[in-house]
Structure formats: structure tokens, C-alpha cells
Amino acid sequence: MSHAEGIRHVSDHVTEFRLIHADDTWSRRTTDCEDVKGQLSDAKLYESPTEHGVTWMVVSPIIFTYRVMQCERLLDASNDTLLFGHIFNPTELQALKTNINGIKRFIVIDDTVNKLYGSQVAAYFEARNVIYKILPLPTTEENKSMLLVTKILEEVHKFGIDRRTEPIIGGGGVCLDIVGLAASLYRRRTPYIRVPTTLLAYVDASVGAKNGVNFANCKNKLGSYVPPVATFLDRTFLRTLPRRHISNGMAEMLKMALMKHKGLFELLENDGKHLLDTSFQESEETIENMNKDAARVSTRLAIETMMEELAPNLWEDDLDRLVDFGHIISPELEMKTLPALLHGEAVNIDMAFMIYVAHETGLLTAEEKSHILVCMRGLELPLWHVDCTVDLIQKSLAERLKHSAGRLRMPLPTGLGQARCVFVRVSVCDECVFVRVSVCEDECL
């Protein structure tokens, strides 16, 4: 239904106006007006008479432009990416570079990042003569709340920022979510910059628009869709990650491989152990049958496939989202098991269960199912957890049903590297839950 058709539910007589900017003001013109001088807006205004006066309908497209950029040596004093890498306008860029005095940066990093890189972050901004404040925070899934958002906002307000003082967020996905929400609230939307320091954040949390915190014991129940002005991806931060956290991030990469890219699946299958061993760093060592570019290629493919799905549906108006694979059961499971399971581990348990569902419904062959589960084990990801009970699964599916217009619809793989969103009858799914839980408990532990 078009916007004009929508307003005709109120009245049959609808006038469509375009909006023109000239002499510092906006004015409306009917669409048949040929004398248009000034800037034409993408927004439109519809007007129609009603019984008690007039009804107006505003159609105003919201366009966000943000940059996701792979880079190296981000904290090298000669690298000005953290100062200017987010600026698209050449004139603005030149003006800032010629008048660098007075640049301010408010930096929020999680406690772990502060211990590992805090001194380097401080040295970088001091070397660039930047006025800065570093706020280290204990950002964990357990304290991912509006209380921490408020604390951040209080510190931002004390420091004093303007529209050119983009807060910089350095940390994992939890930190990016919390501080991103704070930025989206401050002055109704303050531009911000993301610097992911975990693999999961690198390939997943940092490249989209969502921010959020937990509420009422529900994961990310409060949040916003406000992307950063830029995300800077530096793989050297991954070298200090524990092996478990590398595996954790690979779950989200595997998700995109299963949904969209067989080549990425094969790369993770063949080179997964090497990537775990090297923490996605470049290796000079030559290993037989090993892809020397595995780290670079796999992260690029994971991000490309993710952004293909996110860019045209940034606000999630379309609920048929392949990127929701692994996120049906996992939110409930992750919250129930805190802090035992990491996000990617909960996602993989969800995916493993759904692999059985896909096989049960005839979407995957037994060979494909086995192939995928072997790959998951090779990436050192859990396939099951004692708290993934029948009750938890049914509760999660009921929540999905509530947000799917009364029909259970979810993304499922239909082969290696291909998928679609399918309807699953609730009765079939209920039967499958009991059967699959017992099978998974036997086969997946």
C-alpha cells in the first residue's frame, strides 16, 4: 500500500506535496508544480480534509551513512584514523586537519581493554595533543543495564562534548551495546565511533545499527537503532583474546556461513583450528593445505554477508531475517545461564538444535547435519547445555510466535551455505522439541 493509499482510509481526497528549501526556510509545493527552485527534500507531505478539519501525513525517509573500515595499527601515533577516519566531507576534513588544536575525545573502554591497552590509548591521544577522558567500565552481561547507561551519560555531561566530539567505544559487544545506547540518548542522538576488541564484536556487534541493555531479566529489551558514524576494525586487538573468546566469535561467523556462504563454511571447517591457534593474526609459518589469508578472508566474508542482510533492513521492518538464525532460543538460554555461557556459545547451541529441526523437516540431509555438527565441534563450540530444557525451548518458541503474527516462522538452513525463512507448524515443532532434546542430550554433550 502506498502512502497516498494509506491516507485515503481517512479521506478520498488527498493532495501530495513536495518540500522545497530556499532562503533558509522550507515550503511545500504540489507535485504538478514545475517552478521548483531550491533544495528538494526526499520527504513528502500528504493532506486531506476530514469531518473535523484536516489530516496530515508526513513521509520522511531516515537515511544513515556509516563507515565500517578495516585498518591496522590503530593506536600508532602516526595513524590519524581515530581522529578523522569518520569524516566523509573533504572540506570538513581539511578544516579539522588545519585546526587540530582543541579536538576532544571521550573514550569508553571496558575494564579488560583498559588493563591491556589503556596506557597505549592515553599515549596515542597525548601524542596527538587531544583533550581526552578515558572512562573504564565493568561492562558485563550481568550489569548491562540502564543504570550503567546513566552513569556514562553523567560522565559525558561532565566532560562536555559537542557534535564534533564523537565518543569512542572500545571493547566487546556488551560494551558497544551499552555505550551506543547512551550516545543515542544524549542530545537525542550523538554521533559515536566503535572500535571492537573481540572477535564477536568485530564480525557482528560492531557492523549494525542496534544498541541495547537488558531489562526485566530479558536480553536487550531496551534499545535503539542508531548506527555509529564509523566502525574501525583492527585485528591486532584479537591477539590478546583467550582462546575461548575466539571460538565464541566464530559462532557468529559460522551463522553467516550456514545461512549464506558455503565458501566461508568450508574455510572455517578447514582452517578453523589454525584460526583458533593464531587468534586471527597473520602467520609467517607455512602449513601444508593451510590458507595463509584465512583470517583476512573469513572476517571479510562474515562482515560482507552480514551487511548484505542488515543494510536494506536496518530497522528490522521485515521480520524475515536470516541473521536471526541462532537467536530464537539463545537469548533465554544466555540469560538463564549467566555467566556460564558466552553469547556465541548460546547462539551455537541454538543453531545446533535448529540443525536437528531442519533435518527433521526435510530441509537438511543427514549427511549435511552431521557435516555441520562436526564443524561446530572443530571450532570448539558447545552443542548443548543442561539448562536448554524442553520448557526453555517452548518458552522461546512461544515468544517467537508472539512476534511473528501468530505463525511460527524462522530462518533454517536448506543446505550448506543456503537458507530461507520457513513456517513451522507449532504442533510439529512441539513434537520435535521433546524428541530433539533427548537426542541432543545423548549426541551433543
Check 210, 219, 255, 369 and give the catalytic one. 210
C-alpha cell at 121: 590509548
Tell me the torsion sign for CA atoms 424, 430, 431, 435: positive
Phi, psi of 181 (to 5 degrees): -65, -40
CA distances from 167 to 104, 231, 260, 325 (A): 9, 12, 34, 32
Alpha helices in 261-323 (DSSP H): 262-278, 294-310
Q: Looking at this protein, which amino acid is placed at residue 370?
A: S
Q: Are 335 and 219 in contact (CB under 8 A)?
A: yes
As a dihedral over the C-alpha atoms of residue 267, residue 271, residue 273, residue 279, rounded to 10 degrees, the angle is -90
Alpha-carbon torsion (295, 301, 302, 307), positive or negative: positive
What one-character-per-residue DSSP string does 84-95 give?
HTT---HHHHHH
Q: Report the C-alpha gap between 176 and 200 in whole angstroms.
A: 11
44 noted as active-site residue? no
Q: Is 378 helix (H, G, I), strand (E, B) or coil?
A: helix
For residue 396, give the nearest of 345, 335, 330, 306 by alpha carbon.
Answer: 330
Residues with a catalytic annotation lie at 210
